Amino acid sequence: MNQQPTEIKIRFNGSKPLATYILLGVSVVLFLLQVLSEWLTGVDIPFMLGGKINDAITAGQYWRLFTPMLLHGSILHLALNMYALVILGRSIEYNFGRLRFLALYVAAGFAGNVVSYLLSPNPSIGSSTAIFGLLAAEAVFVYQNRKFYGTRSKSILINAASIAAINLVLGLNPGIDNWGHLGGLLGGILFTWLGGPQWELKGLVPNLEIEDQRTSNHSLTALVITLFIFISIGLASIFLRQ
């Protein structure tokens, strides 16, 4: 009598992309406020209060190293970034969990704005600093868990590297903050390398479960280290300019 092959079930409890859609909603609402304020007063008030303006940061308005990731310069700018946020964010939030995803987004966006402040004199806004961090995080995550992806890991990594390279080349055009993109990449790599999910299979066949070997403490440590490094870079730059 022929035996039926054992059906192996692998269970993984991922997070629904709530934070991704909250970030999208906040970005859209703030862009509408930008448009409304410019229509009513002739001035983009959210940008004036929260854009990456180097002189204002040097003068002590340090929140401008965080707030630019929630503001955008045009409807096309917003649409492109929100499309990338949804495509990358849903997958990463599912694998990372909601809080770790938010920590990654903030850390990468902050890192991008610090590098932009350090190396670019031009004002800038946009979530692309954080989104480049998401792209880097996806690549690092797949690399660290490549045994789960098998032969697909190579194509995923090549695809992520190609997208990053193409966008960095496009970022050479005037008006695009490529230093911010590079900083976001570095922030995403650092955070995920130290605190991203590291999977292991647990249980007995046929009931297996994917378990993350990194706890919330690892993620918190990764966030602290990433922020500390880029805060140190930012403070050193501010001190030299003052």
131 pLDDT band, cuts 50/70/90, is very high
The C-alpha torsion from 196 through 93 and 27 to 131, rounded to 10°, is 50
Nearest of 157, 156, 183, 153 to residue 168 by alpha carbon: 183
pLDDT at 91: 93
Q: Is the pLDDT of residue 5 over 70?
A: no
- Averaged confidence pLDDT in the chain: 91
pLDDT at 2: 54
Give the domains, in start order, of the chain with CATH numbers. 16-53+61-241 (1.20.1540.10)
Residue 215 CA to residue 233 CA, distance in Å, equals: 28
Q: Over 60: is that where the pLDDT of 1 sits?
A: no
Catalytic option among 15, 27, 181, 237: 181
Task: Say which of 116, 124, 127, 128 is annotated catalytic.
Answer: 128
User: What's the pLDDT band for 12 if we cut at 50, 70, 90?
Assistant: low
Query: How many Å apart are CA 92 and CA 134, to the nearest integer?
Result: 7
Q: Is the pLDDT of residue 202 over 90?
A: no
Bridge partners (DSSP) of residue 207 are 9, 204
Does residue 72 carry a catalytic annotation? no
Mean pLDDT, residues 73-100: 95
Instruction: Give mean pLDDT, residues 189-216.
Output: 86
Q: Give per-residue pLDDT as tens, 105-129.
A: 999 999 999 999 999 999 999 999 9
Per the annotation, the verdict on 128 as an active-site residue is yes
